[in-house]
Amino acid sequence: MENLQTIKQRFGIIGNDMHLNRALEKAIRVAPTDISVLVTGESGVGKESIPKIIHQLSHRKHAKYIAINCGAIPEGTIDSELFGHEKGSFTGATQTRSGYFEVADGGTIFLDEVGELPLTTQVRLLRVLENGEFIKVGSSKVQKTNVRIVAASNINMIEAIQKGKFREDLYYRLSTVEIHLPALRERKDDIHLLFRKFASDFAQKYNMPTIRLEPDALAVLTNYPWKGNIRQLRNITEQISVIEQNRSISAEMLKSYLPNHTTTNFPALITSESSHSDFANEREILYKVLFDMRNDINDLKKLTLDLMENGSNTTTKENTQQLIQKIYGDNTNENENLVEIISPKKTETYQPAPTHFNEVYQDAETVDEALSLQEKELEMIKKALERNNNKRKLAAKELGISERTLYRKIKQYDL
């Protein structure tokens, strides 16, 4: 078995971080077996190196090695890509095609971004892992395959299982051995080593002197979070190598190439707590509107009773005017018309009923007057619509109410 340093040199792996070394040691130990392996870690940490190491150190090294990016294949064709299809099985299937699991028989398949697989494909993959069997799309014939599967994902698989996006049984079949690669910001001592390696490679590639960092720039490089990990560090190094004429890089010069990590262009994560909070706020607003409407109705009932008992005196008319303005909006001539309609003309002296009579029939009189008010309102709305050829905007303006309120009234009265 090859030692760790030999493996690093052979596969171009730079770094001495203990977590990186532990991941490589696990890959070396499981390589001679046929155990399924799941490689985890953030995007850009170099997960694609682990399946290459496992394949090259296994007894399958002379057979095919196929790397598949599951997230890059459309959902409608991924089953055909992985398992093949029969001629005529779907539109465009003009001939029989062998899938990756048939082509790589005896070798190794690397499923990158395995968390992006559709659930139906996950069921097919689980069958391959359990008994090495698969069926082509459009076929009923069961075929056998002998492949080693190494999968990788940069998402939290446990969360994906809880959300119903990944099968739990498939996860445990894939992760017989799980190898986690640390993020670059967790390997601070390796950052400068990687930078120097990339700088040397690009200097040779573009036939120019190698760039070097000044001490203050080295501090900036080491403390930067590197959200894109090794891939981002490599791209930044290439940019500086090509663009800068001065091969000694200062801190200010380096900062001009580093995106501001305190801000991000990604959408904000909406947590369940914040969504519940927003819903609660909207519910409180709705309740407040309903309570205000109930209070308005109660005020209207009181004014109606007052008009019945006291007639059309000045104080009552003023109260009616204020209530109408509150319900229908700003003061208009139409509001004054509504006041005149609602306030009855006192043509004769009104004799209040005996106290005990009012107490017994007060609710009944209130309902009758409320219904009468609704009928008058309905009549005014109908006439306004007729005069304006059913144009809500003009009718609302004539009534002195908003178009939205008029629309609500139309729906209420089923006009």
Phi, psi of 67 (to 5 degrees): -105, 130
**Cα separations in angstroms, 27 against 154, 158, 227:** 18, 22, 25
**pLDDT band at residue 372, thresholds of 50, 70 and 90?**
low
**How deeply is 187 buried, as exposed, middle or buried, from its count of CB atoms within 10 A (0-12, 13-18, 19+)?**
buried
Between 355 and 124, whose confidence is greater? Answer: 124
| pLDDT tens string 93-111 | 889 999 999 999 999 999 9
pLDDT at residue 12 greater than cutoff 50: yes
**Cα separations in angstroms, 159 against 111, 164, 165, 167:** 19, 9, 9, 11
pLDDT at residue 301 greater than cutoff 90: no
pLDDT > 90 in the chain, percent: 59
d(CA 319, CA 310): 13
| pLDDT tens string 233-258 | 999 999 999 999 999 999 999 999 99
d(CA 229, CA 47): 11
Between 364 and 198, whose confidence is greater? Answer: 198
Between 128 and 343, whose confidence is greater? Answer: 128
pLDDT at residue 183 greater than cutoff 70: yes
C-alpha 61: how far from chain center: 41
pLDDT at residue 354 greater than cutoff 90: no
Q: Which residue has the tokens 């262009």?
A: 265
From the options 3.20.20.150, 1.10.8.60, 1.10.1030.10, 3.40.50.261, give the CATH code of 187-255. Answer: 1.10.8.60
State the pLDDT at residue 297. 79
Is residue 157 within 8 A of residue 115, CB to CB? The reply is: yes
Phi, psi of 114 (to 5 degrees): -65, -20
Q: Is the dihedral of CA 74, 75, 76, 80 positive or negative?
A: positive
State the pLDDT at residue 349. 47
Q: Where are the domains of the chain?
A: 4-182, 187-255, 297-413
d(CA 176, CA 36): 6
Most confident of 97-111, 301-315, 395-409: 97-111
Average pLDDT, whole number, for the chain?
Answer: 82
CATH class of 4-182: alpha beta
**pLDDT band at residue 369, thresholds of 50, 70 and 90?**
very low
The pTM is what?
0.62
Q: Is the dihedral of CA 87, 89, 93, 99 positive or negative?
A: negative
State the pLDDT at residue 105. 95
How many helices (H) and strands (E) the chain has is answered by 18, 9
Between 359 and 256, whose confidence is greater? Answer: 256
Q: Is the dihedral of CA 64, 69, 72, 77 positive or negative?
A: positive
Per CATH, 4-182 and 187-255 having the same topology is answered no
Q: Which residue has the tokens 């969504």?
A: 275
pLDDT at residue 169 greater than cutoff 90: yes
Is residue 167 within 8 A of residue 119, CB to CB? The reply is: yes
* Mean per-residue pLDDT, 264-274: 44
| pLDDT tens string 44-55 | 999 999 999 999
| pLDDT tens string 57-86 | 999 999 999 999 999 999 889 999 999 999
Is residue 181 within 8 A of residue 50, CB to CB? The reply is: yes
Give me the DSSP letters along 173-237. Answer: HHTTEEEEPPPGGG-HHHHHHHHHHHHHHHHHHHTSPPPEE-HHHHHHHHHS--TTHHHHHHHHH
